[in-house]
Amino acid sequence: MNAPLALLAELTHRCPLRCPYCSNPVELARASAELTTVEWARVFEEAAAIGCLQVHLSGGEPTARRDIVEITAAAHCAGLYTNLITAGVLLDASLMARLKAAGLDHVQLSVQDADPAGAERIGGMRGAHARKEAAARIVREAGLPLTLNAVVHRQNLHNLVLLIETARAWGAARLEIAHVQYYGWALANRDALLPTREQLEEATRIVEVARQTHRGRLVIDYVVPDYHAARPKACMGGWGNRFLGVSPAGHVLPCHAAESIAGMEFPNVRETSLRDAWEDSEAFNRFRGTAWMPAPCRGCERAEQDWGGCRCQAFALTGNAAATDPACALSPQHGLLAAALARSGAPAFRYREFG
Ligand code: SF4
Ligand code: FES
């Protein structure tokens, strides 16, 4: 069994933004359910003990936690490389200085669009874009490396060239361009977000050109959407293979969207050690390896490359988490994707919200 490479620590589901593609579950955890500072410190020590090298401090918006500096310090003291995944709208120079002193190693800042009006419509928060630009400056002035994360979809892909220029202008060394993945809130907004094939092809061409143009100055990671694919992605590098997440309420998850699979129960750090959850829990072993696979995955030459695709997507589209991911053209349910593409247009967003 591999060790998990990184821990995704979802510190809270609270967030000032309301992005319609948020990867948090539709049932958001209230602040009263969140793990305490002491509980997170124990999680970080246990994560380091089973081989994790880094922690992504995420949310929601992790800086919405008043103890974000103490949490960062605890992760650093446990020996983990610390990455803050933030919307940036709550970040000022004072907080940045305290986070750096606590041992923060890296900041990943989200951006919703290159055009401020579009960005604020997508994120559902007025004034957010200017605050993000200021946050980028604060991170760079603190001397920390900056990655910009742009989730792209039907309603911002026309600004992709400008998004890449934004990453350069804001001083990012890395840009993640990630097409929306459709579960949770994004599934609820799928008709508004799915790109056309023409948009996808143009985006892929723009990324290839930009990689050449900015070689040595800006690294561009690119995550493509499943809905136009013939084979699925190796989601999470395989269930229970490399990824370990802990939700705000302490559930230990094989992927950030795993709670969207109805009927599955996940161990909780309040009752189980991370080692037991990773090695022995029913939830982590359910789709580990290849023995669980149905046809056509069973015996397929790609079984140990894509691990049958995404369990959350299989559940979201077919109601069966053990089905072959319909993103695979060999799946008998591959036609579900074409049907979704045929329905897509640009209706209004259903914004992320509690309750
Ligand atoms: Fe991957 Fe299964 Fe499709 Fe083979 S049949 S390519 S293992 S999803
Ligand atoms: Fe959960 Fe793919 S998002 S397995």
Q: Is the Cβ atom of 337 under 6 angstroms away from ligand 2? A: no
**pLDDT value of residue 17:** 95
Residue 346 has pLDDT above 90, yes or no: no
Please answer whether residues 94 and 57 qualify as being in contact, where contact means their C-beta atoms are separated by less than 8 angstroms.
no
Is residue 257 lining ligand 2, measured as CB closer than 6 Å? yes
By CB neighbour count within 10 A (0-12 exposed, 13-18 middle, 19+ buried), where does 271 fall? exposed
In the structure, what pLDDT confidence band is assigned to residue 14 with cuts at 50, 70 and 90? very high
- Give the annotated binding-site residues: 15, 19, 22
Helices 128-141/93-101 angle, 10° precision: 40
Token pair recorded at residue 288: 């580990």
- Of ligand 1's listed atoms, the one at least distance from the Cα of 231 is 6
Angle among Cα 293, 341, 118 to the nearest 5 degrees reads 115
This prediction's pTM: 0.95
Is the CB of residue 327 below 6 angstroms from any atom belonging to ligand 1? Answer: no
CB 226 near ligand 1, within 6 Å: no
Task: Specify the range with the lowest mean pLDDT, choosing from 26-30, 73-77, 193-197.
Answer: 26-30
* Atom 5 in ligand 1: residue holding the nearest Cα: 297
Q: Which ligand is nearest to the CA of 328?
A: 1
Write the ipTM. 0.93
Which of 71-80, 103-112, 163-172, 253-262 is the least confident region?
253-262
Strand order in the sheet with 146-152: 219-223, 174-179, 146-152, 106-111, 81-86, 54-58, 6-10, 243-246, 252-253
User: In the Cβ-directed half-sphere of 233, how many Cα atoms lie within 13 Å?
Assistant: 17
Q: What's the rounded Cα separation, in Å, for the pair 149 and 87?
A: 10
- Positions of E strands within 157-297: 174-179, 219-223, 243-246, 252-253
Q: What percent of the chain has pLDDT over 90?
A: 89
pLDDT at 209 over 90: yes
| Encoded tokens for 284 | 């982590």
Hey, is 340 helix, strand or coil? helix
Query: Which of 320, 330, 333 is the pocket-test mutation for ligand 1 (most atoms within 8 Å of CB)?
Result: 330
Q: Which ligand is nearest to the CA of 324?
A: 1
Contact between 149 and 109 under an 8 Å Cβ cutoff? The reply is: yes
Ligand nearest to the CA of 229: 1
Of 254, 256, 335, 242, give the one whose Cα is nearest residue 287: 254
Over 80: is that where the pLDDT of 309 sits?
yes
Q: What is the pLDDT of residue 230?
A: 92
Ligand nearest to the CA of 325: 1
The best mutation among 239, 297, 313, 317 to test binding of ligand 1, ranked by most ligand atoms within 8 Å of the C-beta, falls on 297
Q: Tell me: the pLDDT tens digits for 106-137?
A: 999 999 999 999 999 999 999 999 999 999 99
Q: Ligand 1 mean position to 246 CA, how many Å?
A: 28
Residue 257, CA distances (Å) to 183, 208, 275, 312 in order: 7, 29, 21, 7
pLDDT at 27: 83
Give 294-307 pLDDT, tens digit per residue: 999 999 999 999 99
pLDDT in tens, 47-66: 999 999 999 999 999 999 99
Task: Give the contacts of 88 (CB within 8 A, at least 6 positions apart).
Answer: 109, 110, 131, 132, 134, 135, 136
- pLDDT band, residue 177 (cuts 50/70/90): very high
Q: Which residue has the higher pLDDT, 353 or 203?
A: 203
Please give the mean pLDDT across all residues of the chain: 95
Distance in Å, CA 92 to ligand 2 centroid: 34
243-246 and 252-253 strand pairing: antiparallel
Q: Is 310 touching ligand 2 by the criterion CB < 6 Å?
A: yes
Q: How far is CA 208 from CA 9, 105, 164, 219, 222, in A?
A: 32, 29, 12, 11, 10
Contact in structure between 128 and 17 (CB atoms under 8 Å): yes
Confidence of residue 150 (pLDDT cuts 50, 70, 90): very high
Q: Residue 344 — pLDDT band, cuts 50, 70, 90?
A: confident
